[in-house]
Structure 1
Amino acid sequence: MAYRNGESSAARGRPRDADLERRITAAVLEILAEDGYEDVTFEAVARRCQTSKASLYRRWGAKRDMVIAAVKAGPARHSTSPLPRGTTLREDLLALARRLEGTMAAADIGTALMLLQAGLKDPELCDAIESSAGPTGARLPQAVIDAAVTRGELPAGASPFAFDEVVGSVLLLRHANGLAVDDAYLSALVDTVIIPALVASATSGTALPAGLFSGHPDTRTTDPIQEDS
């Protein structure tokens, strides 16, 4: 039986080329780090990894899907297993922070920054990465907060803002500046910053904004500096 473009049934049924998969992943992440999310196109990726656009379209119907697959196969490759639930809030927070540290350590700093910027423009991209390649450790799941409230470790109404805003930000900055991130550092961050802030968030008296790594932070719509007329 003939197929369009001369493709045989054997070719259509053959397993994917592992080397090509690696080249595609590398090309997507390189373009993302060098030029940003907007410049990651099927044409640019095909040219970079020396394959045809058709071979990419056979795998993914949209650019977002291709980027998610590259992140999952690259920086987030160690984040695909379920995260064990701890018996205390501290254990859960440290597990999330360690998971995120592993993801950050596996990513080029340029890629991480560009992914963050892309996520700010396209919140659905962040959600898709988190659901497909996560938990990445960048967000504090509501289930962790609920369990801590049930155990009496957090007051009702605690907000994930502190975790979503701080942990990813400081890990990104420390990696960008070549600073060590070991278990002692993560423990200090959780014990002296995150847990106290989570406790305080329940009694802040105001609704806290969505954190930077929440996937849905508030976007600035006006100039923060207002000149006097």
Structure 2
Amino acid sequence: MSEAAAAAGRPRDSRIDEAVLVATRELVAELGYADLTFRAIAQRAGTSVPAIRRRWASKAHLVHEAVYPTDVVGAPTGAADLRAEVRAVVERCLAIVGSPAGRRATPALMSEMMTDHALEQELSARLLDAGWDALAARLAEASERGETRPDIDLGVFVEMVFGATLVALVLRGREAVDDAWVEALVTAVVDGLRVR
């Protein structure tokens, strides 16, 4: 069941949820955010516009869930040390934001969130709930092992990775944001986190 689905009433069909999310990712990559409509999504997903509106409060909510899936954002990285952890976070961010859907949806979502404070809070909280607690715990473990300073600001850490990735994609293009770029960012972030 989608994150936005109401708890009351008859159970939602998770197959419809998944079909809508897949259709949304495909169509936002093809059409862009501005030209994306619930009607086009419904057609591609084999469902109806009312079925979509029952599940998601707005186009922004739907696109955010489709482009930033919490099962990917919050999934354990399986990293063995600080450098591997940071690299996994950078690679995951690049995979999401650098995807065709991510490149076309992210600027539009940011624009909507800048003009709607309630939407900004809701969508930001969705990502916070998805896995920042787990990331904070992993960074705390790195601190206990003596790999990082104890005063790491998790928000700043995430903003550095997300912001650097987004700007690099805009300025360089996806093809130029390669493994060498990932390695350079990982080194910069790890150096900033380490105990001095």
TM-score (norm 2): 0.65
- Counterpart in the other structure of 1:66: 62
Pair 1:149 & 2:151 matched: no
RMSD of equivalent CA atoms: 3.8
Question: 1:46, 1:53 within 8 Å by CA — same for their partners in 2?
Answer: yes
**SS at structure 1 position matched to 2:161:** helix
Question: 2:74, 2:134 within 8 Å by CA — same for their partners in 1?
Answer: no
- Counterpart in the other structure of 2:49: 53
CA distance in 2 between partners of 1:161 and 1:48 (Å) = 33
* Correspondences of 1:1-229 after superposition (within 5 Å): 16=16, 22-27=22-27, 33-34=33-34, 44-46=37-39, 49-50=42-43, 52-58=48-54, 60=55, 62-63=57-58, 65-72=61-68, 76=69, 79=72, 82-106=75-99, 107-120=101-114, 121=117, 122-129=120-127, 131=129, 141-176=135-170, 177-178=172-173, 180-191=176-187, 193-199=188-194
Letter in 1 for 2:125: D
Question: 1:101, 1:171 within 8 Å by CA — same for their partners in 2?
Answer: yes
Question: 2:73, 2:127 within 8 Å by CA — same for their partners in 1?
Answer: no
Q: Post-superposition shift, 1:101?
A: 1.1
Q: Post-superposition shift, 1:164?
A: 2.2
Question: 2:21, 2:66 within 8 Å by CA — same for their partners in 1?
Answer: no
Show CA shifts across 1:112-164 (max 9, x none).
Answer: 112334445412212214545x67xxx99211220111100112222235522
Question: 1:89, 1:148 within 8 Å by CA — same for their partners in 2?
Answer: yes
Looking at secondary structure, tell me which structure has more helix per residue.
2
Question: 1:33, 1:110 within 8 Å by CA — same for their partners in 2?
Answer: yes
CA distance in 1 between partners of 2:137 and 2:17 (Å) = 39
- Counterpart in the other structure of 2:4: none
Q: Mark the structure with the bigger radius of gyration.
A: 1
Show CA shifts across 1:159-217 (max 9, x none).
Answer: 235522322122112222315222232122121x21222247xx9xxxxxxxxxxxxxx
Show CA shifts across 1:49-74 (max 9, x none).
Answer: 5564323234x0522653344225xx
Question: 1:162, 1:198 within 8 Å by CA — same for their partners in 2?
Answer: no
Paired-residue identity, %: 24
Question: 2:94, 2:165 within 8 Å by CA — same for their partners in 1?
Answer: yes
Unaligned runs of 5+ in 2: 1-11
**SS at structure 2 position matched to 1:154:** coil
**SS at structure 2 position matched to 1:157:** coil
Question: 1:33, 1:108 within 8 Å by CA — same for their partners in 2?
Answer: no
Number of matched pairs: 173
Letter in 2 for 1:125: L
- Counterpart in the other structure of 2:9: none
- Counterpart in the other structure of 1:6: none
